[in-house]
Amino acid sequence: MIDAVHEQWSIEFNSGIPVYKQIINHICSALASGSLKEGDRLPTIRQLHEQFDVNPNTVAKAYRELELTGIIATERGNGSFIKAGAEPERLSEVDQREKLQSFYRRMLTEAAGCGLTEDQLINHIIERKKDEPVH
Amino acid sequence: MIDAVHEQWSIEFNSGIPVYKQIINHICSALASGSLKEGDRLPTIRQLHEQFDVNPNTVAKAYRELELTGIIATERGNGSFIKAGAEPERLSEVDQREKLQSFYRRMLTEAAGCGLTEDQLINHIIERKKDEPVH
Amino acid sequence: MIDAVHEQWSIEFNSGIPVYKQIINHICSALASGSLKEGDRLPTIRQLHEQFDVNPNTVAKAYRELELTGIIATERGNGSFIKAGAEPERLSEVDQREKLQSFYRRMLTEAAGCGLTEDQLINHIIERKKDEPVH
Amino acid sequence: MIDAVHEQWSIEFNSGIPVYKQIINHICSALASGSLKEGDRLPTIRQLHEQFDVNPNTVAKAYRELELTGIIATERGNGSFIKAGAEPERLSEVDQREKLQSFYRRMLTEAAGCGLTEDQLINHIIERKKDEPVH
DNA sequence: GTGGTCTAGACCACC
DNA sequence: GTGGTCTAGACCACG
């Protein structure tokens, strides 16, 4: 069953990252990793609403943006699908580094606010990697 | 010079984390790391305003929250100070793991939204660590 | 109609007591008197803004402080509610006496500044009490 | 010793009433009650500063305003004195009622914020009156 | 110089 | 519609 792709997604309210953007991220991520491909059917708004307790309007907003950027196509009364030729965003090497930098720095700042050090962060990441080498 | 503690702080606009919360994080972090101690004077609202080009009200909001939560004490017309007995938030092992999980997951999701993989993230973090082994 | 609780509140500008603190006082008072209970919805920021001609930001500041002190909980896009377990501040006998002393002394001093005597104050209070024996 | 008039004054920081206005109030009050009369010498700025831990500038501001309104006269290097013909502010009956109303309402609101009722306030005032019938 | 309060108005996320 | 964040700018009290 194709809809299973979203079963390990997580939505964090109060994370600062808009919920609708988290949904977009998850879909783009699935696209990049290959778990979603051209023509695949996305979970319906109702499904996401029920699974993550996200307001349907918020899901709709995510899908609307994805449609505007040409990633998905919505067929009325039939659901939404990954568009033919949809490509996950490609960043230049430089932009990638910058993004990574930015993400990491943010994580550090937030962690620091809770009294967590960079070493603790790194240890956690490494251990996590060891625990789930497959997946 | 005591005021120097904030000279390496950084504020990221558009990071999703409210600016005022970033300021709070920086202060809590400094408290946890020991670079700020009981009785130390914080940078004035206007200093932070000028240094980071943040609106004074935004800084004031951060300081107000810190005061309400018992971390700092404000003396009218005289500045703000780390309160006697102010304790950096102490998390249990479990809560720490949870926080770390949450931060990391968030970073992953966002990175994925840009087409960046977990491996890229980890590589970036490791390299960064190698580049600045000290400090 | 639940929202009616705030219909007899009054805000005095130029009283020396910050407007946002007056709002907090009114809510704490309603909590203590029982006219607001766990789970009750507070008037929205915009309602108070319109009713008292107070800037929405000022109302928001009051609500924010109430949230930080654990009295109310705010649901984004949905309003603010009295938190489960919210307790009106309980003062010891001694502290009560002290507070009452302090309030009264303050009133006396101010009255005196206008040439009003303690007797005039007391008479006024007693007459007021006689006029509105109920409610 | 004339300077004794201010020995029972009290200054409340954080009461919302500006400190300099509290000083003014005390002096006007003393004038109304007769404990200060034409030609009497006021406590020096330094005295008030030391006794109440009020910044000298703040005392100076109070005296400056009193001078502007014609209540006191300052002789350089010699101190400040109640001016000949100085009269405590006289309010019309109506204004008096209004002031009293306003003071009382404020006291009620503040007390309510601490969970204190009007009855408690009234009882406190009555008891206080009984305890110190003289003075 | 310090912080505190308030206003006005903008934009955003969420219901 | 709800609250959240931020800016800009004013005025005040206090040191």
- B77 burial level (CB within 10 Å; 0-12, 13-18, 19+): exposed
pLDDT computed for residue D89 by the predictor: 67
Rounded to an integer, the average pLDDT of C13-39 is 91
Cβ contacts of C65 on chain B, cutoff 8 Å? 68
Interface check B55 vs C, CB under 8 A: no
pLDDT computed for residue C64 by the predictor: 97
* A2 pLDDT more than 60: no
- Max mean pLDDT range (C117-121, D13-17, D52-56): D52-56
Cβ contacts of A126 on chain B, cutoff 8 Å? 122
Strand partners, D80: D74
The model's confidence at residue A56, banded by pLDDT at 50, 70 and 90, is very high
* B59 pLDDT more than 70: yes
pLDDT computed for residue C134 by the predictor: 55
| Pairing of the two strands C79-82 and D72-75 | unpaired
**Nearest-by-Cβ selection for C125 from D29, D89, D125:** D125
Q: What are phi and psi of D120, to 5 degrees?
A: -60, -45
Q: Where are the beta strands (DSSP E) in B1-135?
A: 72-75, 79-82
Q: Looking at chain C, list the stretches that DSSP marks H as alpha helix, in order from N- to C-terminal side.
A: 19-33, 45-52, 56-68, 93-113, 118-131
Distance between C44 CA and the closest CA of chain D, angstroms = 20
Closest CA relative to residue B108, chosen from B98, B118, B96, B120: B118
D54 touches strand F (CB under 7 A): yes
* C3 pLDDT more than 60: no
B19 touches strand F (CB under 7 A): yes
The model's confidence at residue B132, banded by pLDDT at 50, 70 and 90, is low
Q: What is the pLDDT of residues C80-134, one digit of tens each?
A: 999 988 876 778 889 888 888 888 888 888 888 888 888 888 989 888 877 765 5
* pTM recorded for the entire structure: 0.88
pLDDT computed for residue D1 by the predictor: 43
> How long, in residues, is chain B?
135
Rounded to an integer, the average pLDDT of B79-108 is 86
Rounded CA-CA distance B104/B101 in Å is: 5
Q: What is the pLDDT of residues A12-44, one digit of tens each?
A: 888 888 999 999 999 888 888 888 889 999 999
pLDDT computed for residue A132 by the predictor: 64
Rounded CA-CA distance B110/A26 in Å is: 8
Closest CA relative to residue A42, chosen from A12, A87, A75: A75
User: Between the CA of D28 and the C1' of E4, what is the distance in angstroms?
Assistant: 27
Rounded CA-CA distance D125/D132 in Å is: 11
pLDDT computed for residue B18 by the predictor: 93
Rounded CA-CA distance D39/D33 in Å is: 15
Closest CA relative to residue B69, chosen from B16, B27, B15, B13: B27
User: Between the CA of B57 and the C1' of F10, what is the distance in angstroms?
Assistant: 13
Rounded to an integer, the average pLDDT of A74-97 is 82
The answer to which of A107-116, D19-28, D80-89 has the lowest mean pLDDT is D80-89
pLDDT computed for residue D6 by the predictor: 66
Rounded CA-CA distance B132/C61 in Å is: 42
pLDDT computed for residue A78 by the predictor: 84
Distance between B68 CA and the closest CA of chain C, angstroms = 7
* A1 pLDDT more than 50: no
The model's confidence at residue A129, banded by pLDDT at 50, 70 and 90, is confident
Residues whose CB falls within 8 Å of the CB of residue A124, separated by 6 or more in sequence, listed in order:
B97, B100, B101, B104
The answer to which of A2-16, B88-102, C72-86 has the lowest mean pLDDT is A2-16
Taking CB atoms and an 8 Å limit, are C116 and D125 in contact across chains?
Answer: no
Residue nearest to nucleotide E8 (CA to C1'): C55
Rounded to an integer, the average pLDDT of D65-94 is 85
pLDDT computed for residue D126 by the predictor: 87
Cβ contacts of A29 on chain B, cutoff 8 Å? 109, 112-113
Rounded CA-CA distance C41/B104 in Å is: 36
User: Between the CA of B24 and the C1' of F15, what is the distance in angstroms?
Assistant: 26
Instruction: A103-106: list long-range contacts, CB under 8 Å, 24+ apart.
Output: A103/B107, A103/B110, A103/B111, A103/B121, A104/B107, A104/B121, A104/B124, A104/B125, A104/B128, A105/B10, A105/B12, A106/B12, A106/B15, A106/B16, A106/B17, A106/B107
**Nearest-by-Cβ selection for C104 from D100, D105, D124:** D124
* D111 pLDDT more than 70: yes
Which chains contact B through at least 3 pairs of Cβ atoms less than 8 Å apart?
A: A, C
Taking CB atoms and an 8 Å limit, are B91 and A17 in contact across chains?
Answer: no
State how far the alpha carbon of A2 is from the alpha carbons of A5, A39, A66, B114, D131, in Å. 6, 11, 19, 23, 83
List the single best residue of D6, D116, D126 to mutate versus C (max C Cβ within 10 A): D116
3-state class (DSSP) for residue A75: strand
Per-residue DSSP letter, B80: E
C101 touches strand F (CB under 7 A): no
Pair of tokens at residue C2: 């639940």
* A76 pLDDT more than 50: yes
Nucleotides of F under 7 A from a protein CB: 1-9, 12-15
Q: What is the pLDDT of residues B13-54, one digit of tens each?
A: 988 899 999 999 999 999 988 899 999 999 999 999 999 999
Rounded CA-CA distance C45/C75 in Å is: 13
Rounded to an integer, the average pLDDT of D6-30 is 86
H/E element holding A52? Answer: helix A45-52
Interface check B65 vs C, CB under 8 A: yes
Pair of tokens at residue B115: 């087409």
pLDDT computed for residue D64 by the predictor: 93
Residue numbers of D between 31 and 50 with CB closer than 8 Å to C: 32-33
pLDDT computed for residue A88 by the predictor: 63
